[in-house]
Amino acid sequence: MYPILLPILFPILAGLCLLVYRKDLERKLLTGITGSCLVITGALVISVLALAKKSLILFYLTETLPIYFQIDEISVIFSVLTVVVFVCAGFFAFAYMKHEQKEKRYYGFYLIAFGVLNGLCFAGNLITFYLFFELLTLSSFPLVLHTGTREAIMAGLKYLFYSLCGAYASLYGIYFLYRHCDTLTFTAGGILQASPASPDGRFLLLVAFLMILGFGVKAGMFPMHAWLPTAHPAAPAPASAALSAVIVKAGVLALIRVIYYIFGADFLRGSWVQTAWLTLALVTVFMGSMLAYREPVLKKRLAYSTVSQLSYILFGLAVMDQDAFMGGLLHVLAHGFIKGTLFLIAGAIIFTTGKTRVDELHGIGKEMPLTMWCYTIVSLGLIGIPPTGGFVSKWYLAIGGLAGDIGIFRYIGPAVLLISALLTAGYLLPLTIRGFFPGADYDYNALQKREPARLMTIPILFMTILSVLIGLFPNIITDYLTKFVSSLL
């Protein structure tokens, strides 16, 4: 049969069954089923990555456009990230969603989104990719508006329309590309024949820019970043963890696929598109950090931080240099684990204390020491202090930026990254400081230990450890990727 389809279809079907099943399940049974589905899917993904045949043509949509799946190194990176975050955030949700309505619907769409993401990672041509990209938007937006308040629904709609507009912008890119290419299959190094100087090439550069803008919406790139800070606080915490750690990465994956597998880096290197892209990415990095710095609500602050950090990755992609690209990929993993953890922690804090603003959280470190220790560790990681994951990725990004053939950006880029790292420290660490050192007027008598349930702490701990491990042993990943990256660039 088609083993490559299993990790895509199984969770989608399981999710659909959950949604269609008429009666309400008992909570224990529901979480049991969802949990086992998550684990089985995880196992399926891993075994497919390890064992199965690497490509499959399912059927032909039109004569030259098949639905086609293919697994390469990029798929491996993204699907491992997906599995880890989705399983962790899923188990976290079993504790967090206890008091929410309509849990069944949440789990149903969660499983569907999981399957769709796997499909996105395995997609082997642009049409298949686009199909799953659209489905991802549609299956993740019920997660955003889950609470059903007016605010959440408006946030969900905002998310939907930003994503759809972006997807359509990219779809037009696909239409044009379809005219210029024989196939739209992802091929390392690109499939375009035209040179950038020819009239067709000049037009294709415009198309490339359109697609960068379009897919950039999902990755929260300026000027279409506004949906992120609205959607994240409205969604339940595990959903925002999944959203921030994985789903926005779909935009990054899309850009990797389009730029490096369809256009080819050589086509864009040195063109105005690269300059514009670099500018947008750096503007986003700086602006995201600034906005996060000024934001008092914890989850919103983290959302702005996501905006900023994602553009680190986009900067790495836009430099089109081996080291920078490697840094971008590492940062995909590092930021995925770290931001996932941060959102889970924010969820845990909201769940136990009910407080959402940073300045209300005096002494939180005394109340929830384990959680806050994890918070501190991953925060240091995001700032980029060794030995955590963020350090290695930012190191590569900076090296790549300095070495890349990008003119004045060679200096501006690393400088902006550095300033933004300082700002990151500025917006993440106050919580640690206030949490552990509440000051003289803190009432120690009223202190009570209220560490959250184990279902919450274990996923947090697990992902914290992973983020540190990436920083300690980056060689495993870089060795795995080196040959492949050099084939791309």
Q: Which is nearer to another protein, 215 or 396 (CB)?
A: 215
How far apart CA 262 and CA 173 sit, in angstroms, is: 11
CA-CA distances (angstroms) from residue 160 to 130, 228, 252?
Answer: 15, 11, 18
Q: Which is nearer to another protein, 142 or 365 (CB)?
A: 142
Q: Which is nearer to another protein, 151 or 359 (CB)?
A: 151
Question: 205: burial class by Cβ within 10 Å (0-12, 13-18, 19+)?
Answer: buried
User: Looking at 25, 39, 102, 465, which residue binds another protein (CB under 8 A)?
Assistant: 102
- Residue 63 CA, chain-centre distance (Å), reads 34
Q: How far is the CB of 151 from another protein (least distance, A)?
A: 14
Sign of the dihedral through C-alpha 50, 53, 54, 56:
negative
Q: How far is the CB of 208 from another protein (least distance, A)?
A: 16
Q: How far is the CB of 138 from another protein (least distance, A)?
A: 7
Closest of 194, 216, 218 to residue 205, by C-alpha: 194
Q: How far is the CB of 156 from another protein (least distance, A)?
A: 7
How far apart CA 211 and CA 260 sit, in angstroms, is: 13
Binding mask 406-445 for another protein (x = CB under 8 A): ----------------------------------------
Q: By CB under 8 A, is residue 28 in contact with another protein?
A: no
Q: Which is nearer to another protein, 223 or 296 (CB)?
A: 223
Q: How far is the CB of 178 from another protein (least distance, A)?
A: 7
Q: Which is nearer to another protein, 175 or 411 (CB)?
A: 175
User: Looking at 130, 263, 312, 351, which residue binds another protein (CB under 8 A)?
Assistant: 130
User: Looking at 76, 127, 213, 248, which residue binds another protein (CB under 8 A)?
Assistant: 127
Q: By CB under 8 A, is residue 101 in contact with another protein?
A: yes
Q: Which is nearer to another protein, 106 or 114 (CB)?
A: 106
Q: How far is the CB of 68 from another protein (least distance, A)?
A: 13
Q: Which is nearer to another protein, 177 or 406 (CB)?
A: 177
Q: Which is nearer to another protein, 61 or 197 (CB)?
A: 61
Binding mask 168-207 for another protein (x = CB under 8 A): xx--x--xx-xx----------------------------
Binding mask 284-313 for another protein (x = CB under 8 A): ------------------------------
User: Looking at 2, 24, 27, 61, which residue binds another protein (CB under 8 A)?
Assistant: 61
Q: Which is nearer to another protein, 206 or 433 (CB)?
A: 206
Size of site (CB under 8 A) for another protein: 32
Q: Which is nearer to another protein, 2 or 168 (CB)?
A: 168
Q: By CB under 8 A, is residue 9 in contact with another protein?
A: no
- Residue 445 CA, chain-centre distance (Å), reads 42
Q: How far is the CB of 148 from another protein (least distance, A)?
A: 5
Question: 229: burial class by Cβ within 10 Å (0-12, 13-18, 19+)?
Answer: buried
Binding mask 135-174 for another protein (x = CB under 8 A): x--x---x--x--x----x--xx--xx--xx--xx--x--
Q: How far is the CB of 145 from another protein (least distance, A)?
A: 8
User: Looking at 1, 26, 62, 449, which residue binds another protein (CB under 8 A)?
Assistant: 62
Q: How far is the CB of 293 from another protein (least distance, A)?
A: 34
The residues binding another protein (CB under 8 A) are 20, 22, 59-63, 101-102, 127, 130-131, 134-135, 138, 142, 145, 148, 153, 156-157, 160-161, 164-165, 168-169, 172, 175-176, 178-179
